[in-house]
Structure 1
Amino acid sequence: MKPTTLYIIRHGKTMFNTIGRTQGWSDTPLTKEGEEIIRYLGLGLKDTVFQEAYSSDSGRAMQTARIILQEHENGAAIPYGTDSRIREWCFGSLDGGYDGELWGVVPRILAFKDYEDMMTNRISYKDLADAIIAADTANWAEPYDKIRERVWSGFEDIAHHREKNGGGNVMIVSHGLTISFLLSLIDNRLPMQIGLENGSVTKLTYENGSFTIDTVNDTHFIDNGRGIASAH
Structure 2
Amino acid sequence: MSTEVYLVRHGETMFNQLNKVQGWCDSPLTVKGINDLKVTANALSQVHFDNMYSSDLKRAIDTVHLMKDANLVSDIGKIKKLPEFREVFFGTFEGDDINQTWDQVAMAAGIGHEDNVAKIINQVGLREFREATKRADPRHLAEDKDELDERMVRAIDVLRDVTKNEQRVLLVTHGDFIKTLSIKYWNKSDDKHDIIFPDNGSVTRGILHDNGKFEIVDYNVDAEKL
State the TM-score, normalizing by the size of structure 1. 0.86
**Structure of greater relative contact order (alpha carbons < 8 Å, 6+ residues apart):** 1
Any runs of at least 4 consecutive aligned residues in structure 1 with deviations exceeding 6 A, and if so which?
none
- Partner Cα distance (2:74, 2:28) in 1: 21
DSSP-derived class of the 1:16 partner: helix
User: Which structure's residues are more often helix, by fraction?
Assistant: 1
Query: What is the 5 A alignment of 1:45-194?
Result: 45-74=44-73, 77-113=76-112, 114-116=114-116, 117-121=119-123, 123-124=125-126, 126-162=127-163, 164-165=164-165, 167-187=166-186, 189-190=189-190, 191-194=193-196
Unaligned runs of 5+ in 2: none
Would the alpha carbon gap of residues 122 and 138 (structure 1) be closer, same or farther in structure 2, given more than 3 Å must change?
A: closer
Question: Structure 1, residues 152-176: CA drift from partner, whole Å, max 9, x if none?
Answer: 22133213542x32x4111011111
Tell me the distance in 1 between the aligned counterparts of 2:94 and 2:74.
33
Contact 1:89 1:177 in 2 (8 A): yes
Cα RMSD (Å) = 2.1
Alignment CA distance shift 1:43-1:186 (3 Å): same
- 2:222 match: 219
In the alignment, the residues of structure 2 paired with residue 62 and residue 73 of structure 1 have an alpha-carbon distance, to the nearest angstrom, of 19
Q: Is the 8 A contact 2:120 2:129 kept in 1?
A: no
- Seen in structure 2, the aligned counterparts of structure 1 residues 187 and 76 have a Cα distance that, compared at 3 Å, is closer
Does the 8 Å contact 1:89/1:178 carry over to 2? yes
Alignment of 1:40 with 2:39, yes or no, is: yes
Give the whole-Å Cα distance in 2 for the aligned partners of 1:81 and 1:155: 15
Count of matched residue pairs: 219
